[in-house]
Amino acid sequence: MPACATGEEAYSLAIIFKETMDSLQPPGTHRLQIFATNIDPDAIARARAGIYSSNIAADVSPERLERFFVETENGYQVAKTIREMVIFAPQNCIMDPPFTKLDILSCRNLLTYLSHELQQKLLPLFHYCLNPGGCLFLGNSESIGSFTHLFQPLDVKARLFRRVEAVINAESIDFPSNSNLGRETAKSPGFKGIINGNLQQLAEKLILERFSPPAVITNNKGDIVFINGRTGKFLEPAAGKANWSIFAMAREGLRHELAGAFQKAARNNQPVTVKNLVMGKGSEDQPVDISVIPIFEPDALAGLFLLSFTEAPALPAPTESKSAGSENTSSARFAELEKELERLRAELQYSRGEMQTSQEKLKSANEELQSTNEELTISKEEMQSLNEELQTINQELQAKVDELSLTSNDMKNLLDSTDIAILFLDQNLNVRRFTPQVTKIFKLIPGDAGRPITDVKMDLDYPGFIDDIHEVLRTLDFRESQITTRDGQWFLIRIMPYRTIDNVIDGVVMTCSDITVSKQLENKLRSDAQIK
C-alpha cells in the first residue's frame, strides 16, 4: 500500500480482513501481511505507533473500538494483534525498488497527484508487483487509463481491477532506479538520444573541458549513464539487485545532501554546489565538494546532469593546545558551520513550503475533478431519467398511433361499404376525401386529392353548385337540392358544414343519394292522375 499517510487506511484493511477471516474460518493456516509505505518518515513513525485521537469514535463503531483498539490518555491505540499484521516502511515508489509477489495492491488517491508520465510508469510496475490473479484497488477519481490489456475491471464503481496475464517486455517497464550502465536510459525531457559510438567521446570531451575530478553523467531520474575517472571513493554498488541510481550508490554522508542538490538543480535548471561534506571514515574524514550541473549542450547530451566529486582541503584536526589562535580558528569554523546549517534549514523550510503549496493545489484540483465527476454522474442519472420519460411518452404515442390507425381503418371500411356518394371538401374547396360512388357523378381518381373541385368535371346539371357551397360556409346551414344528371338520373344533393371535434368549421361534406326510382314513380303517379 504506497502513500499510506499515517496508517489509517492500512489498519482499516487489516481490521476488515481480520473480521472476514474470523467469519469465514477458512480451513488451513493463513497468514495476512500488509506492507504500507510512505515517503515521509514522520508519517511512518506515527503509523507504527498506531495512536489516534479520540475523534475516531465518530467514524468507528463501538464494537470495533472495543475489539480492535485500546483506550489511552491521548485517544485510542490500535490493538497489538492488528499492528502486527501491518509493516510500515519508508519508500519512494517512484525511485525505490518495489515490493513484489503481492495479492492485493491498494493505491488510492496517489495517481491523481502524479503527472501523466509517472502514471504511465507506475501502472505497468503495479502489474509486475502483483501475483497472477492479484487485485489493484484505486481511488474514486483514478483509472487504469490505456492499460486495459494489463487489468480487467471487477467493480468499476469501486475502482477494483484484476491483473490480467499479459506478455510484457521487461525492458518496457521503467523499474525505479534500475538503469543499465552504458544503455540509453536517459529519458528526461529534451534528451534527443545518443548514438552508441559517440556517447563516450562526447561525455569525455565535455568532462575534460570543464572538470578534471571524478564525475558521472545521469538522466533526470538520477540513473547513471556514464562514469569518468575513479569514483569508487565516493560511490559503491548497492547490495542486492543491480541498481545504477546515484542516490543508492552514494556513500554514507553524501547521499542526503546529493539528493537535495540534485533536486534543486533539476528544479531551477541551475548548477548547485555543496561543499565540505564528510563521508564518515573516522579519524580520516575527508571533506568532499559535490557539483550538480544541468547539461544544455551539446544537443546530444541536453537534458542530462553532470555530477563531479572534488576532495576539499582537510579540516584542521583538533589539538590539545588551547592557544588563542586555535580558539579563533575553531570559533570561525563553528560560526561557518552554523551559517551553513541555517542556510540549509531555510532551504529545507522553503522546499517544504513549496511542497505543501503544490500538494494543496493538487488536492484542490483533485476535489474539482471529483466535483466534476459527481456532476457528470448526476447528469448521467438525469439523462437516464429523461430517457425513461421519453420511452414512456413514445409508448403512449405509439398506442395513440395504433388507435388512430384502427379508427382510420374503421372509417375507410365504413365509407367503402356505404352506397352513398360522399365528397369531403376543405375551406378552399379542394378535394379532401371521397367514396367510390362519387366517381359516378364527378370525374375523380384517387390522385385528385388536394385538387380544387372547380377543376373537376361532373355529370350533374347543377349551375349553382359552387354558390350553394359558399352559402353553406357562410350561414353554416345545410342545403338540400334534387338535381338531375345529363343522362336523366336524379340525385338528392345535401351540402353540410364539416365540423371538427373542437367544433371548428373546416370545409363541407356533400352527400349524393340516388333518387331516380323515386322520381320515376312520382312522375308515373302524376301521369296516372292526369289521365283520370
For the chain, 532 residues long, the average pLDDT of each consecutive 10-residue run is 88 91 80 87 88 89 91 89 89 79 88 82 87 90 86 89 76 50 42 50 59 80 83 78 79 80 87 80 66 87 89 61 58 73 73 77 86 88 89 91 87 76 91 87 87 89 90 90 88 91 89 88 84 71
Rounded CA gap, 271 and 295, in Å? 9
**Buried (b) or exposed (e) across 62-80, using 16+ Cβ within 10 A?**
eeeeeebbeeeeeebebbe
Domain boundary among 291, 318, 345: 318
What single-letter amino acid sits at 24? L
Domain of residue 55, CATH code: 3.40.50.150
Q: Do both 204 and 105 map to the same domain?
A: no
* pLDDT at residue 195, as a whole number: 43
Residue 329 in any domain: the answer is no
165, 166, 171, 176 alpha-carbon torsion, rounded to 10°: -40
Residue 372 in any domain: the answer is no
The helix-helix angle for 255-268 and 324-417 (nearest 10°) equals 50
Domain boundary among 318, 334, 365: 318
Best CA proximity match to 177, nearest among 115, 102, 241, 265: 241
Residue 443 in any domain: the answer is yes
Q: Do both 248 and 155 map to the same domain?
A: no
Q: Do both 45 and 168 map to the same domain?
A: yes
* pLDDT at residue 176, as a whole number: 59
Residue 332 in any domain: the answer is no
Q: Do both 424 and 524 map to the same domain?
A: yes
**429 close to 521: Cβ distance less than 8 angstroms:** no
Domain boundary among 271, 301, 318: 318
Residue 340 in any domain: the answer is no
Domain containing 203: what range? 196-318
Domain of residue 240, CATH code: 3.30.450.20
Residue 146, CB half-sphere, CA atoms under 13 Å: how many? 5
How many domains does one find in the chain? 3
Residue 327 in any domain: the answer is no
Residue 277 in any domain: the answer is yes
Q: Do both 455 and 498 map to the same domain?
A: yes
Rounded CA gap, 277 and 288, in Å? 5
CB neighbours of 376 closer than 8 A, spacing ≥ 6? none
Q: Do both 460 and 510 map to the same domain?
A: yes
Residue 101 in any domain: the answer is yes
Backbone angles phi and psi of 222, in degrees to 5:
90, 10
Q: Do both 134 and 277 map to the same domain?
A: no
Q: Do both 200 and 168 map to the same domain?
A: no
